[in-house]
């Protein structure tokens, strides 16, 4: 299927690694122009080098700083004079819990995981209105299932889900579609780092995989990215306000099925 993404300028925050990397690669394969916004220039450039000759661009920015969110969008507009899509993806499950957290850590986590979703969309909106672009927010199961000891990240993802629905309503008049892809278990570099902090990480990983109904395996970043590309494209022209779980049935299917 031709997704009609050729030469579309699509911003991917946190696009250099993990899920963001998968999204950037799929978009490049579809002929789009992915623009990575990330804080590590080396990581950004390494990924852009790997997708040559498909093309792409990057902006170095620390998204926890509101002024850098604004600057990043301005740089994209200056370079391309248009924006056709925004993928809000950057974030980290930083383990700020209720018992082990505090006000400062909680607010800092919201800046890492939620505030820049709003700011990037806010500053990109005038260009998205011109192009009738699309927004896709990457969110996590933690907002629906809980996880324990991660109050701030769960709250941020609840906010991401709520903003997806709210923006879909607010932007109907412009023909801008807004959807979310909800991720459960995907083996990214951050996930690998987290699993290593647990006792018997290999055993724990096998236990988690055994509870994923479809195939008893992790969701790949490419599988997530394929859904993101679809939601950005005209192939999903009447889909908006949706929270789409790309998770092998992890959240909604009876996990007893995984071992049936």
CA atoms within 13 A on the CB side of 234: 10
Q: List residues with catalytic annotation.
A: 153
In the three-class reduction of DSSP (H, G, I as helix; E, B as strand; rest coil), residue 41 is classed as helix
| Phi and psi, residue 173, nearest 5° | -65, -20
Cβ-contact 16, 40 below 8 angstroms: yes
Contact between 36 and 15 (Cβ < 8 Å): yes
The closest alpha carbon to 155, from 203, 192, 101, belongs to 101
- Separation CA 79–CA 74 (nearest Å): 9
| Residue 250 DSSP label | T
133, 176 in Cβ contact below 8 A? yes
Euclidean distance between CA atoms 32 and 133, whole angstroms:
13
């Amino acid at each position: 299927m031709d997704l009609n993404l050729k030469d579309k300028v699509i911003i991917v925050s946190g696009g250099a690694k993990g899920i963001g990397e998968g999204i950037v690669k799929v978009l490049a394969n579809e002929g789009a122009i992915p623009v990575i916004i990330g804080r590590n220039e080396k990581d950004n450039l390494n990924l852009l080098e790997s997708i040559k000759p498909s093309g792409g661009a990057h902006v170095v920015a620390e998204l926890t700083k509101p002024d850098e969110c604004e600057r990043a969008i301005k740089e994209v507009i200056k370079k391309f004079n248009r924006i056709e899509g925004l993928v809000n993806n950057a974030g980290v499950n930083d383990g700020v819990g209720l018992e082990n957290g505090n006000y400062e850590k909680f607010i800092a986590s919201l800046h890492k995981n939620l505030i820049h979703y709003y700011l990037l969309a806010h500053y990109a909106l005038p260009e998205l209105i011109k192009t009738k672009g699309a927004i896709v927010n990457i969110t996590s199961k933690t907002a629906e299932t809980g996880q324990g000891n991660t109050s701030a990240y769960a709250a941020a993802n609840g906010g991401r889900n709520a903003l997806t629905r709210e923006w879909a309503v607010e932007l109907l008049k412009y023909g801008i579609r807004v959807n979310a892809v909800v991720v459960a278990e995907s083996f990214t570099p951050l996930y690998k780092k987290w699993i290593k902090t647990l006792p018997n990480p290999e055993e724990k990983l096998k236990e988690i995989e055994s509870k994923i109904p479809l195939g008893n395996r992790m969701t790949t970043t490419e599988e997530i990215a394929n859904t993101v590309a679809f939601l950005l494209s005209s192939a999903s022209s009447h889909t908006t306000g949706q929270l789409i779980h790309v998770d092998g049935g992890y959240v909604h299917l009876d996990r007893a099925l995984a071992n049936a």
